[in-house]
Homo-oligomer: A and B are copies of this chain.
Amino acid sequence: MRKHPGKSRVLTSVAEKRGRPRSSESTSAILEATLRLLKEHALRDITIEMIAKSAGVGKTTIYKWWPNKAFVALEAFGLEMRRDVLIPDTGSAERDFCEQLQSVIKFYTSKTGRIFSQFLAECQSDAEFASQFRERFLLPRRAAVQVIWQRGVARKQIDRTIDMDTVLDLIYGPMIFRLLAGHAPLNAKEASGIVAAAFRGFSPRS
């Protein structure tokens, strides 16, 4: 059905395994080469040929398993991200969000993490990639931070009438905006300011 099975080739049922199996060496060589290149260059500047050469692999092998370089990068980055997201549990929802946001900011502005904003960029011109990015990357991470919200609601630290997407986007949206547009600073202090404002709201104390 799908031309590029990507990772989902997992469930190729039982049979159907005649012929030489996919070389896991090639696969990992490709992903590692991609990670290596991503630390030096922007995704835009990387070419399939660079990856192929750097991995010691034929271009065909790459095209066989991924439709384009963005998907390769997405899977490569997925490896790096396998280490679970740190979800603090301090007892205070505001404090949890603040610490989480700070660590996310630190990562997204790092040499490795800056690929994240390039993925968002790629989404603007490739709907299929956008879909994969949400499914494999964005939603899992939202599911992880969701527990902060849940605990906050349970502890009555967060208004239960506000839906979760709104809460999360109010926390992370400003960070994303600054990350992409660079119109305002992005650091630990700003992070706590954002979270504080989100919890208190703009309305002046009465």
Contacts and interface: CB of A to CB of B under 8 A. Distances in A.
A138 B181 CA distance: 8
A8 interface: no
A123 B163 CA distance: 31
A71 to B, nearest CB: 16
Contacts of A200: 159, 201, 203
Contacts of A157: 202-204
A64 interface: no
A122 B123 CA distance: 12
A160 interface: yes
A201 B203 CA distance: 8
A154 B93 CA distance: 31
Which of A118, A174, A176 has most chain B Cβ within 10 Å? A174
A177 B134 CA distance: 12
Contacts of A167: 197, 202
Query: Is chain A's interface secondary structure helix, strand, loop, or mixed overall?
Result: helix
Counted per complex, copies of this chain come to: 4
B121 A203 contact: no
A162 interface: yes
A43 interface: yes
B198 A169 contact: no
B124 A180 contact: yes
Contacts of A123: 121, 180-182
A29 interface: no
Contacts of A170: 170, 173-174, 194, 197-198, 202
Given A120-B121, A160-B204, A198-B198, 20 more contacts: A118-B125, A120-B124, A120-B180, A121-B123, A134-B182, A134-B183, A139-B183, A142-B183, A152-B202, A158-B204, A162-B193, A166-B193, A166-B194, A166-B197, A169-B178, A172-B173, A173-B175, A199-B201, A199-B202, A200-B203
6 contacts: A117-B124, A130-B181, A159-B205, A169-B174, A173-B177, A199-B202
